[in-house]
Structure 1
Amino acid sequence: MQPEDRRLFIGGQRSVRRTLVVRALLVLIMYAVVIIAFWLDRGGLEDKFDNEISFVDVVYFSAVTMTTVGYGDIVPVTPRARIIDSVLVTPIRLLAWLIFIGTAYQLVLQRLIEDFRMRRMQSKLENHVIVCGFGHSGACVAHELVVRGMEKRQILIVDVDRDVLQIAAEQGFIGILGNATQEETLQEAMLPSARALFVCTHRDDTNVLVVLTARSLASTVRIIARVEEAENEKLLRQSGADATILPSRIGGILMAGSLETTVLANHVMELISATGRIVLIDREVQTQEIGQMPADLDVLAVAVVRDGRELVTTDPDARLRPQDRLLVIRQATARS
């Protein structure tokens, strides 16, 4: 299997290209050791052609000896030369052949190995999160999810760039090489059993296609999509995205808020990040809170979410009901 055929990227899994390079270097090192050994003991060799042993003769003899060709034109004639061939060169010859055979065996069976790893990975995936695109936004999403308590092996990265996926795998994530606009790729990522799909490519048209494809495969999975241009936000919503994020808008607001001071921007970043000293969380209304006004609670509630609408805490209709959710600001839990 060629390196470009590899689709599954898992941390600790060495690429085929790297494996071939390492094995080739090992064979060259062993070849060099044999050359040095025979050159130092070249007096124990006999050339039946011209009775002279040059460096080229040693290189040639080392090659035919390691490959067990043995033409017989150059032979070891002294006891020491024969001991070198038996004790040093023979084990190296066997190891080199094992490397050749093992490499051929691996390349022939690599597709079967890849399919086995894919099936094993898929059998363990459930309630996972899929991140399409591991650029700056996708990487930030993945790492923020880890900070919020999700295991890296429950975060699956889909990208068309194998180098990016190799980086993701080295960081502990699982990667699948493929185009997320295609059903086959999302099916391999086990989308129907996923908890959520984050669409983080840098093109709105690609994001729309990913959302449409994903929604056709999984009608209930939560989809969060990145938006580059504000006019495309409505299109992504119509395509099936549950939430859309416009990074340029968020960045612009924070920059404008930093006109006089950086306190506002820093405070907002702490609120929305799990690494902040204070965090904004969305939680269910507890039984003992039903019937109360948000201002009467022992927590700092900033909004009530009811039937998809947000009510400010001072709204007379904000008295808590069983199906409501609360947006609450609280101190972050200390982490070790």
Structure 2
Amino acid sequence: MIHFPRVRQSPLRALGIRLFAAIGLVLLIVLVVFIDRRGYRDITDTPLSLLDCAYYAVVTLSTTGYGDITPISQSARLVNVLVITPARVLFLIILVGTTLEVLTEQYRTNLRLTRWRKTVKDHVIVCGYGTKGRSAVNVLLENGMDKRKIVVVENSPAALRSAIANGLVGVEGSATRSAVLLEAHVKDAKSVIIATHSDDAAVLVTLTVRQLTAGKVRIIAAAREAENAPLLKQSGAHHVIVSASTAGRLLGLSTSAPPLIDVVEDLLTPGQGMALAMRSAERQEVGQAPRDLDPLVIALVRRGKVVSLAEPAGLTVETGDMLVYVRDDRSASLSQ
């Protein structure tokens, strides 16, 4: 089942709006009848008072219609046709507003679902919205990705509600099932991020994605243990992030070389100072040495492979290269 983010409204506010709308409509009809009160006849043959006009408006709008007060002039009957009858329908709509709201919400959801299925393409699917999944989504958003391009697949109702509350499209179900991934349009996705709670589930999701997409979608998986990384790569993952070993390395750095952990945290924390970024090489940069470029370039990506600057001297930038560089993230955040 696909869930879309909803704009929530307070129940008291919704009830208050309907109540004021109903009272306002009744007062309007009372005013209309009172202005043309000579065009109405009471069975008692007495002129209509303001109370009589209010009584007629209420029984008419509620479709009770006792018939003790009736329009007799042409103008009064015209007002009944053009004003009071439409107002009666509107009054009933207000009274049954809750039912209509549910039907309208269902129609709106179906319309959004149909539109989404027609337009979703080159999106990122995040399987699992735990700590790793939320962090991955935050990085995507910080790098400028539209929320509408992110789809969360989650089996936990609480985690799914959290994703929807954050404005993301959520698909309820296990990512190990083909039907669930097809609901997320995995065949049209740009990449799939697998952030499940266990490595065995990550392997199953990887195998399922590879089977459905024939290897055409980039798969990035997270593993708890380093020994499971080769298995994930054999299953079809293009990149595997080992959370346990990565955390262990950072813990070791924080003990043996404390300044290095500060640098790593700075690179990984958005808007704090330095940040890693990647862009295509510009025309005027082709033929130059990477170390001579500004900003600081630390690696090249050439034909899908990383070229380290530790390569022999004479390395120059070629057409089509991607530059991995360190940018000043503080200036970027201030400009935004």
Structure 1 counterpart SS, 2:332: coil
Could you tell me which runs of 5 or more consecutive residues in structure 2 were left unpaired when the two chains were aligned.
20-53, 65-87
1:187 to 166, 182, 186: 182
Q: How far is 1:268 from its partner?
A: 0.9
1:163 to 158, 161, 173: 158
**Partner of residue 224, structure 1:** 220
Q: How far is 1:334 from its partner?
A: 2.5
Alignment CA distance shift 1:111-1:239 (3 Å): farther
Give TM-score scaled by structure 1 length.
Answer: 0.67
- How many angstroms apart in 1 are the aligned matches of 2:303 and 2:2? 42
- How many angstroms apart in 1 are the aligned matches of 2:157 and 2:259? 40
- How many angstroms apart in 1 are the aligned matches of 2:191 and 2:297? 26
Confirm or deny: 8 A CA contact 1:9 1:166 kept in the other structure: no
Q: How far is 1:290 from its partner?
A: 2.6
Alignment CA distance shift 1:309-1:334 (3 Å): closer
1:277 to 273, 278, 291: 273
Alignment CA distance shift 1:289-1:10 (3 Å): same
Q: 1:120-159 residue pairs with structure 2 within 5 A?
A: 120-159=115-154
| Letter of the structure 1 residue corresponding to residue 318 of structure 2 | R
Could you tell me which runs of 5 or more consecutive residues in structure 1 were left unpaired when the two chains were aligned.
1-5, 31-82
**Partner of residue 267, structure 1:** 263
- How many angstroms apart in 1 are the aligned matches of 2:157 and 2:226? 30
Percent of residue pairs bearing the same amino acid type: 33
Give TM-score scaled by structure 2 length.
Answer: 0.67
Alignment CA distance shift 1:208-1:135 (3 Å): same
- How many angstroms apart in 2 are the aligned matches of 1:112 and 1:297? 55
Q: Which moved more, 1:131-140 or 1:266-275?
A: 266-275
Q: How far is 1:186 from its partner?
A: 1.4
Confirm or deny: 8 A CA contact 2:125 2:191 kept in the other structure: yes
Confirm or deny: 8 A CA contact 1:132 1:157 kept in the other structure: yes
| Letter of the structure 1 residue corresponding to residue 219 of structure 2 | I
Confirm or deny: 8 A CA contact 1:178 1:185 kept in the other structure: yes
- How many angstroms apart in 2 are the aligned matches of 1:233 and 1:100? 60
| Letter of the structure 2 residue corresponding to residue 123 of structure 1 | K
Alignment CA distance shift 1:177-1:106 (3 Å): farther
Confirm or deny: 8 A CA contact 1:311 1:318 kept in the other structure: no
1:302 to 292, 298, 302: 298
Q: How far is 1:278 from its partner?
A: 1.2
| Letter of the structure 2 residue corresponding to residue 330 of structure 1 | R
| Letter of the structure 2 residue corresponding to residue 229 of structure 1 | E
Q: Which moved more, 1:262-271 or 1:207-216?
A: 262-271
Structure 1 counterpart SS, 2:278: strand
1:244 to 240, 247, 250: 240
- How many angstroms apart in 1 are the aligned matches of 2:104 and 2:156? 24
- How many angstroms apart in 2 are the aligned matches of 1:297 and 1:242? 30
